């Protein structure tokens, strides 16, 4: 992740965020699921077990939706250290596999300082290398003014 600082004045409509490539491993998913103790204690699930996933009609274990939105939000909070995420809104269009290259992209689609909050609207997507979009959505972030 970059340790850079961005200011509201420096961002224009159409500016791209990312792309960021990530691979979510089995171990990372297990660590995430452990945090939701109730779920983890109920045994293997389609998130942690390929066998359970296949029994549910899937082809492999999948990344939890809650983890996917966390990863999507990181695209934004990782853009610069001073990004403040105000809202994120996503649609899960396809299940996300473990151990597969995921490409996160964003683009600035709106800029609004009317409310005094220096808000930027951004489209965000997660896709596979073949271009299939797994998660789409938008977000509102805030950046400070250059003093």
Partner 1 sequence: MLLDLHTHSTASDDSRASVEQYIKWIHVLRKKGNSIDGFVLTEHRQFDHDVDYSGLALENDVTILKGAELDTDTGHFLVYGVNEQITTRIDFSNVTMDAQKLVDTCLEFKAIAIPAHPGRAGIGFAHHLENGRKGFLSIKTVEELNGSNRPGEGEKAVDLIKTKGYMGTGGSDAHIVSAIGTCMTQFDIKVHNEEELVQALLNGPFKAVRMTDL
Partner 2 sequence: MTTDDGIVYNRSLLGVENITGTFEVTRDMILGFARSTGETYERYIGDTNGKGDISAPPTICNIFVTGLSRPDIELEFGELSFFAGQSIECKLDIKPGDILTGRTKLDNVYSKTGRSGKMVFTVWQTSFMNQNSEIVALVNESFVTRNKNA
Residues in contact with partner 2 by CB under 8 A are 1, 3, 22, 28, 31-32, 34-36, 38-39, 56-57, 64-67, 69-71, 73-74, 77-78, 81, 85-92, 95, 137
Q: Is 143 helix (H, G, I), strand (E, B) or coil?
A: coil
CB closer to partner 1, 5 vs 109: 109
Contact residue for partner 1 among 13, 23, 54, 66 (CB under 8 A): 13
The shares of helix, strand and coil residues in the chain, as percent rounded to the nearest 5, are 25, 35, 40
Does residue number 121 form part of the binding site for partner 1 (CB under 8 A)?
Answer: yes
Sign of CA dihedral 66, 69, 74, 75: positive
CB-nearer residue toward partner 1: 82 or 112: 112
C-beta closer to partner 1: residue 33 or 141: 141
The entry of partner 1, partner 2, none near residue 74 (CB within 5 to 8 angstroms by kind) is partner 2
Please, which residue, 12 or 63, has the CB nearer to partner 2? Answer: 63
C-alpha triplet 79, 84, 11: angle, nearest 5°: 55
- CB of residue 70 to partner 2, shortest distance in Å: 4
Report the length, in residues, of the chain.
147
Angle (CA) 132-136-140 rounded to 5° is 150
Write the interaction track for partner 1 spanning residues 79-118; mark x where CB under 8 A is met and - where it is not: ----------xxx---------------x-xx--------
Q: What is the CA radius of gyration of the chain?
A: 17
Q: Where are the alpha helices (DSSP H) in 7-141?
A: 26-35, 37-41, 50-55, 65-77
């Amino acid at each position: 992740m970059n340790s850079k600082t961005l200011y509201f004045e420096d961002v224009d409509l159409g500016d791209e965020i990312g792309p960021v490539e990530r691979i979510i491993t089995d171990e990372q998913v297990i660590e995430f699921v452990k945090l939701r103790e109730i779920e983890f204690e109920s045994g293997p699930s389609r998130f942690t077990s390929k066998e359970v996933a296949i029994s549910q009609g899937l082809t492999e274990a999948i990344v939890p939706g809650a983890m996917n939105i966390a990863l999507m939000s990181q695209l934004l909070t990782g853009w610069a250290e001073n990004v403040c995420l105000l809202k994120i809104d996503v649609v899960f269009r396809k299940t996300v596999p473990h151990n597969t290259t995921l490409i996160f992209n964003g683009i600035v689609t709106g800029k609004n300082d009317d409310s005094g909050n220096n808000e930027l609207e951004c489209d965000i997507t997660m896709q596979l290398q073949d271009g299939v979009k797994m998660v789409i959505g938008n977000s509102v972030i805030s950046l400070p003014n250059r003093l």
